[in-house]
Structure 1
Amino acid sequence: MFLDIHISGTSGSESESVIHHFNLLALLLFDSKSYGKILELYFRLYHLCANKEALVSEYGRWVNESWVWDLVWRRALFDREREATNELISAISSVTPIAGNKDGWIWKAASDGKYSTKLAYACIEEHKNRSALAPTVKDLLKMWGTATLQKARVAAWRVLRNRMPTCDNLKMRNIPLDEVDSMCSACFQHNESTNHLFLLCPKTEKVWDEIQRWLGLSTIRPQLVTTHFESFTNLGMGKKNEKFLTALWMCTVWQLWKRRNDCRFDGKAWETKKLFFEIKAIMWSWVKIFNLLDVEPSFAS
């Protein structure tokens, strides 16, 4: 968060310093105003990369004293992937090696780039107070401590931390989206955000309504995903059943995200009933595999 990097443009044994031991994945994970968390936005391209373990210096070359990024792919790219590649190159264009300079680290929180314990403490305190609505450590431990599929846990963690590449988050990372592309893929009535997509969208609300009827519950839904997770997983159904509710919440947001992508990228329709039955089917398998309940639930209704 607070570190930046100097990248040397030289090669050979003399330049095998800090940054040359990072592959492209490490470069893309650095959090910077200029290019943001690019890996989250271009994970498909990362999987198509021909050599994920290459050094940074192997992903480009000097042409007339100018650095040119030169990415190599495992196969020929489709039109949409070529467009994404052009966006990626544009996003990382600010990362330019400096010929003749040694690789090194910069402490971005300091004007002189030098680290100090006092300034580090001030940065940590500022970060702690930045958002009172962030998920609690208890909530995160509850989520990671519940046995489910890893991909569902990761999706839920990203939702709680507002790290999903929703349209509003993409705009914050300087990804250009027009007014139409910014709309929710489910309802086409509001701009897409984490709270809207997973909680407030009329189509999403119907999914949560189906789940509440299935559980025989009637509750008021909070307006934020963090408070919804806390309230939903603490409905007073017993300690063991708390794991079931936690897994159900994770399964639901995971499937909502998958359905959103189906609608946005494959042109599929949003089918609430079908989505709900898919969630129930997954939960049935998780109950069997992960022993999530004291008693067998009814999956017929």
Structure 2
Amino acid sequence: MLVGILILEGEPDRWLWVADSEGKYTVKSAYSVLQGEIPTDADFNYNNIWTTFATTSSNTFTWRALMDRIPCKLNLMRKNVINRIEEVTCPLCNEVEESTSHILFCCSKTWLVRACCYRWLGISTALPSEVMAHFSQHSGILSNKNQKQGLMTIWTAMAWSIWTCRNIVVFDGQGWDYERVFELAQLKSWNWIQAKSKEFTCSFYE
């Protein structure tokens, strides 16, 4: 239940307990978790998907990623769509099997996209590699509702852009350009937040 490490510049380090709305551990909340009165990590992440400013289709992609249901190569092999082990290799780095966690967070090619994102946001972070842990970490960074929604929207935009451009590499034979992927995610997140947040007044170029 303790969420992975995340470091915000100018903010003190802290652990977050996802079973409490303020991120604080209490014996009462721990007891409630053990009794099944408070949702598990999976339920917590699932419920937070739909609070972003992203489109329904993009939020649905996030849900599928959290449930490990996107058609990455490892999942296709599990369904016997791919039969040869050599066909499971990540199409971007060509180093390891392409799992959901790998393509979105661990791949040396997609990691550069997220590195750009964290520099843009002014965040220094140690990233968990598991999808739900990664999502949970972001859902608890900020307490302000609109800021929290904005940050989770950016998370969704990053994941969606990585997967979309990965498919362009696989099906259209185009090269991978992490800066172009990051710019796409920036544009998507800005468009989504600008369209749905009444408090959002920033220019795209700020």
TM range (shorter): 0.7 to 0.9
What is the RMSD of the two structures over their aligned residues, measured on CA atoms? 1.9
Whole-angstrom CA distance in 2 between matches of 1:135 and 1:163 = 17
Asked if the contact 1:135/1:161 (under 8 Å) is kept, the reply is: no
The two structures have a TM-score, normalised by structure 1, of 0.52
- The Cα shift of 1:177 comes to 3.5
Whole-angstrom CA distance in 2 between matches of 1:143 and 1:295 = 20
Secondary structure of the residue aligned to 1:175 is coil
Aligned to 1:146: 52
Change over 3 Å in CA distance of 1:237–1:206 after alignment to 2: farther
Greater Rg, structure 1 or structure 2? 1
- The Cα shift of 1:250 comes to 1.2
Aligned to 1:94: none
- The Cα shift of 1:239 comes to 2.2
Aligned to 2:77: 171
Q: Is 1:215 aligned with 2:121? A: yes
Deviations 1:53-111 (A, max 9, x none): xxxxxxxxxxxxxxxxxxxxxxxxxxxxxxxxxxxxxxxxxxxxxxxxxxxxxxxxxxx
Stretch of structure 1 that moved more, 236-245 or 216-225: 236-245
Aligned to 2:22: none
Aligned residues: 167
Aligned sequence identity (%): 28
Secondary structure of the residue aligned to 2:88 is coil
Give the alignment partner of residue 161 of structure 2, picking from 238, 243, 255. Answer: 255
Structure 1 residues not aligned, in runs of 5+: 1-133
Q: Is 1:190 aligned with 2:96? A: yes
Q: Is 1:244 aligned with 2:176? A: no
Whole-angstrom CA distance in 1 between matches of 2:131 and 2:202 = 25
- The Cα shift of 1:220 comes to 0.6
Aligned to 1:162: 68
Change over 3 Å in CA distance of 1:285–1:177 after alignment to 2: same
Whole-angstrom CA distance in 1 between matches of 2:165 and 2:41 = 24
Whole-angstrom CA distance in 2 between matches of 1:171 and 1:217 = 36
For 1:24-39, list aligned pairs within 5 A: none
Asked if the contact 1:135/1:160 (under 8 Å) is kept, the reply is: no
Aligned to 1:300: 205
Asked if the contact 2:146/2:197 (under 8 Å) is kept, the reply is: no
Asked if the contact 1:186/1:203 (under 8 Å) is kept, the reply is: yes
Secondary structure of the residue aligned to 1:218 is strand
Whole-angstrom CA distance in 2 between matches of 1:159 and 1:165 = 9
- The Cα shift of 1:288 comes to 1.3
Aligned to 2:189: 283
- The Cα shift of 1:238 comes to 2.4
Asked if the contact 1:198/1:204 (under 8 Å) is kept, the reply is: yes
Change over 3 Å in CA distance of 1:177–1:299 after alignment to 2: farther
Aligned to 2:111: 205
Q: Which amino acid aligns with 1:189?
A: E
Secondary structure of the residue aligned to 2:120 is helix
Secondary structure of the residue aligned to 1:136 is helix
Deviations 1:212-269 (A, max 9, x none): 0000000110020110011123222622111011111111111111111111111111
